[in-house]
């Protein structure tokens, strides 16, 4: 097996280490977080850190990088209390990736890419048109991770919109059918093929593929 110790990593370039460490935890989610400032300037930003926090009440989280440079997503959420989370498909992926470019303060990524704003149920923040699964969230709290000044943002899930026929009778969302992507490392995109669901695990009981 190939081996890297923490000490050995210091001999590599920071870009090599960033690629290695960003891919060593496995696959990540792939979402566009969209917001709108109180002045009406919209923002779209790709995030690979959106995570499940809890079902009851329904909450999600994501990691913000340190606030040492302008973070419009963070500022808009703090100003307006809301944001949307939009699944990325292959058709949206190039534009989603392009949102990571450093545009100026008053420039919306929606004006610089083919992404289109969509407003649903009078929610302040825009949803992303053509995204098959979209969540409208309210800001709940934030936790600074002191070790590197990143921030875990917590939001409540207030609205869920899905294209038709994506939810089965058990509540499970068919992510293969929605063609939701997963991300790997800093800049990789992949399309998962569904293998199976497995029955609830109990001691001394064989699992079944559902």
- Residues 83-122 close enough to bind a second copy by CB under 8 A: 85, 87, 90, 93-94, 97-103, 112
Question: What region, left, alpha or beta, does residue 184 occupy, with left being phi > 0 and alpha being psi -120 to 50 degrees?
Answer: beta
The residue (of 38 and 90) whose beta carbon lies closer to a second copy is: 90
| 185 near a second copy (CB under 8 A) | yes
CA torsion 114-182-164-156 (nearest 10°) is -90
Q: What residues between 148 and 167 interact with a second copy by CB under 8 A?
A: 148, 150, 152, 154, 156-164, 166-167
Q: Which stretch binds a second copy (CB under 8 A): 35-43, 71-79, 136-144?
A: 136-144
- State the pairing for strand pair 58-64/51-55: antiparallel
- State the pairing for strand pair 127-128/133-145: unpaired
Burial class for 193, CB neighbours closer than 10 Å (0-12, 13-18, 19+): exposed
The residue (of 37 and 150) whose beta carbon lies closer to a second copy is: 150
Measure the CA–CA gap between 198 and 6, rounded to whole angstroms.
36
Which of 67, 70, 114, 207 forms a contact with a second copy (CB under 8 A)? 207
Which of 11, 39, 56, 69 forms a contact with a second copy (CB under 8 A)? 56
| 68 near a second copy (CB under 8 A) | no
| 205 near a second copy (CB under 8 A) | yes
Closest approach, Cβ 69 to a second copy, in A, equals: 15
The residue (of 59 and 82) whose beta carbon lies closer to a second copy is: 59
Measure the CA–CA gap between 124 and 84, rounded to whole angstroms.
9
Measure the CA–CA gap between 189 and 181, rounded to whole angstroms.
7
Question: What region, left, alpha or beta, does residue 36 occupy, with left being phi > 0 and alpha being psi -120 to 50 degrees?
Answer: beta
Which of 130, 175, 177, 179 forms a contact with a second copy (CB under 8 A)? 175
| 139 near a second copy (CB under 8 A) | no
Closest approach, Cβ 2 to a second copy, in A, equals: 5
């Amino acid at each position: 097996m190939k081996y890297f110790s923490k000490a050995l990593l210091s001999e590599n370039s920071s870009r090599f280490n960033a690629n290695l460490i960003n891919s060593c935890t496995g696959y990540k989610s792939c979402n566009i977080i969209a917001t709108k400032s109180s002045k009406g300037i919209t923002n779209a930003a790709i995030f690979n850190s959106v995570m499940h926090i809890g079902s009851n009440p329904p909450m999600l989280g994501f990691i913000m990088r340190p606030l040492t440079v302008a973070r419009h997503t963070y500022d808009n959420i703090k100003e307006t209390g809301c944001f949307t989370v939009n699944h990325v498909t292959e058709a949206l992926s190039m534009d989603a990736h392009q949102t990571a470019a450093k545009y100026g303060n008053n420039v919306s990524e929606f004006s610089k890419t083919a992404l289109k704003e969509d407003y649903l149920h009078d929610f302040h923040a825009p949803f992303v048109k053509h995204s098959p699964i979209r969540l409208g969230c309210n800001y709940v709290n934030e936790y600074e991770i002191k070790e590197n000044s990143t921030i875990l943002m917590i939001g409540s899930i207030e609205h869920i919109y899905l294209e038709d026929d994506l939810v089965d009778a058990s509540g499970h969302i068919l992510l293969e059918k929605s063609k939701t992507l997963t991300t790997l490392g800093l800049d990789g995109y992949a399309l998962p093929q569904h293998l199976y669901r497995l029955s609830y695990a109990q001691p001394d009981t064989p699992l079944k593929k559902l």
